[in-house]
């Protein structure tokens, strides 16, 4: 959007483009993203559906619709839109990551792990997916795999608080207490709310 003075000018240009070519999915999608930026969610949703109608293979539009569902607390809707995204574009890592996130929220750990593994296979720089995999493996009682994925997340983003928190818990489980203390401190430093029972356990190793 750098060539435009502001979001309103960009929106006006996209509306003009749609007027002259109503079947351009990209213009509908660009308009939707700009409207999302202005928190005009209902209008954005309408444009995303228009984008898909014009370009059924536009995986990005499905992912944005999934995000809108998530805003409303609609996990089923979010899951369905992201499934459509990866059907339209099987290698679309963001779609797989979002599917993994929804499964994790529902406590469907095995399913979450499968989707998140796909997300990181298609995009080896997908920080959030590595961090979520760290959480999923932790919930599945697999601290070694949790550590491996949390460390990958930190290679990409050293300040990623969730990964530090997961490492603190996983290292506690493995009895590597000095490492647990280090990562717990880092998570706290980043403003992460570490669970009180973990803080209590960490206390004895300081």
pLDDT, tens digit (0-9, with 9 covering 90-100), for 10-49 = 999 999 999 999 999 999 999 999 999 999 999 999 999 9
Average pLDDT of the residues in 56-82: 97
Q: State the fold for domain 71-121.
A: 1.25.40
How much of the chain is in helix, strand and coil states, percent to nearest 5?
75, 0, 25
- The pLDDT of residue 206 is 84
* Terminal Cα distance for the chain, rounded: 50
Average pLDDT of the residues in 129-143: 98
Half-sphere exposure of 124 (CA within 13 A, CB side): 1
The domain 124-206 belongs to what CATH superfamily? Tetratricopeptide repeat domain (1.25.40.10)
Q: What is the pLDDT of residues 153-202, one digit of tens each?
A: 999 999 999 999 999 999 999 999 999 999 999 999 999 999 999 999 99
CATH 1.25.40.10 domain range(s) in the chain: 1-56, 71-121, 124-206
Cβ atoms of 73 and 62 closer than 8 Å: no
pTM of the model: 0.91
Q: State the fold for domain 1-56.
A: 1.25.40
Share of residues in the chain with pLDDT > 70 (%): 98
């Amino acid at each position: 959007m750098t060539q435009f003075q502001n979001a309103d000018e960009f929106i006006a240009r996209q509306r003009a483009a749609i007027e002259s070519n109503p079947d351009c999915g990209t213009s509908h999608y660009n308009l939707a993203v700009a409207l999302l930026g202005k928190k005009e969610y209902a209008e954005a949703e309408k444009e995303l559906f228009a984008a898909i109608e014009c370009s059924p293979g536009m995986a990005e539009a499905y992912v944005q619709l999934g995000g809108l569902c998530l805003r409303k607390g609609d996990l089923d809707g979010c899951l369905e839109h992201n499934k459509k995204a990866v059907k339209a574009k099987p290698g679309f890592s963001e779609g797989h990551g979002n599917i993994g996130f929804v499964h994790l929220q529902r406590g469907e750990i095995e399913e979450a792990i499968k989707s998140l593994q796909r997300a990181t296979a298609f995009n080896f720089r997908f920080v959030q997916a590595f961090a979520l995999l760290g959480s999923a493996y932790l919930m599945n009682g697999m601290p070694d795999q949790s550590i491996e994925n949390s460390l990958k997340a930190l290679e990409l983003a050293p300040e990623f608080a969730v990964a530090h928190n997961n490492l603190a818990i996983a290292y506690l489980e493995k009895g590597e207490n000095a490492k647990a203390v280090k990562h717990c401190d880092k998570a706290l430093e980043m403003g992460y709310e570490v669970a009180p029972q973990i803080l209590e356990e960490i206390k004895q190793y300081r």
